[in-house]
């Protein structure tokens, strides 16, 4: 099982991708100076080290996207797809008396945290193509529609993205 562990602070985001089976750290690093000028560090055994590279990170959304991009990078990444990440863990520091030990975040935990004033935001990751392809042949269009419909109907497929300019 591969677990992405995140520790996000006010202007930083530390991360590790762990393989729980082998107990190896597959990659680790740091996004720092989030909201200022952004510095990115990435280290993976046998891969090129990225050390304090300037990366624009106005918010934590850009920081986590930078991490995910590095993990799946064809030359320097350690996984082929984000689907290889089985779980994500995040440390919440101020659990107070309610949470004095690690807990699985579920509806009950979220409700208790909301009662304490925590506000939750989502940073949905979407695959946005850089280039679109237009199809003009009626047969190609029907085949593309059929392919997309079949993928969306497949229970094993979670999301479908394409670069078809329809």
- Residue (of 29, 24, 106, 91) closest to 64 by Cα position: 29
CATH (residue range 2-91)? 3.30.420.40
State the pLDDT at residue 93: 59
Q: What is the pLDDT of residues 24-70, one digit of tens each?
A: 999 999 999 998 888 999 999 998 888 878 898 898 889 999 999 99
Bridge partner residues of 128 (DSSP) = none
- pLDDT higher at 71 or 119: 71
Whole-number pLDDT of residue 160:
78
Domain with CATH 3.30.420.40 in the chain: 2-91
Specify whether the CB–CB gap between 61 and 69 falls below 8 A: no
Q: Is the pTM of this model over 0.85?
A: no
Q: Rounded to an integer, what distance in angstroms lies between the CA atom of residue 23 and that of residue 18?
A: 7
Mean pLDDT across 60-85: 92
Higher pLDDT, 102 or 142: 142
Q: Which stretches of the chain are assigned E, i.e. beta strand?
A: 2-8, 12-19, 24-32, 39-43, 50-54, 87-90
pLDDT > 90? residue 116: no
Q: What is the DSSP string of 99-127?
A: -SS-----HHHHHHHHHTT----------
Spatial contact of 76 and 44, defined as CB atoms under 8 Å apart: yes
Question: Which pair of tokens denotes residue 114?
Answer: 């909301």
Torsion sign across C-alpha atoms 92, 118, 65, 59: negative
The band of 127, judged by pLDDT with boundaries at 50, 70 and 90, is low
């Amino acid at each position: 099982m591969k677990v992405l562990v995140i520790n996000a602070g006010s202007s930083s985001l530390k991360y590790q991708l762990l393989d729980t089976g082998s107990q190896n750290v597959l990659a680790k690093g740091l996004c720092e100076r989030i909201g200022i000028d952004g510095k990115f560090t990435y280290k993976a055994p046998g891969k090129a080290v990225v050390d304090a590279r300037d990366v624009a990170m106005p918010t934590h959304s850009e920081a986590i996207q930078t991490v995910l991009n590095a993990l799946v990078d064809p030359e320097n990444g350690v996984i082929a797809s984000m689907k290889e990440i089985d779980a994500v863990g995040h440390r919440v520091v101020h659990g107070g008396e309610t949470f004095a030990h690690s807990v699985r975040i579920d509806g009950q935990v979220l409700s208790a945290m909301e009662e304490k004033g925590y506000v939750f935001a989502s940073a949905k990751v979407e695959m946005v193509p850089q280039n679109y392809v237009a199809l003009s042949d009626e047969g190609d269009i029907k085949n593309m529609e059929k392919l997309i419909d079949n993928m969306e109907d497949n229970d094993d497929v979670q999301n479908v993205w394409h670069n078809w300019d329809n």
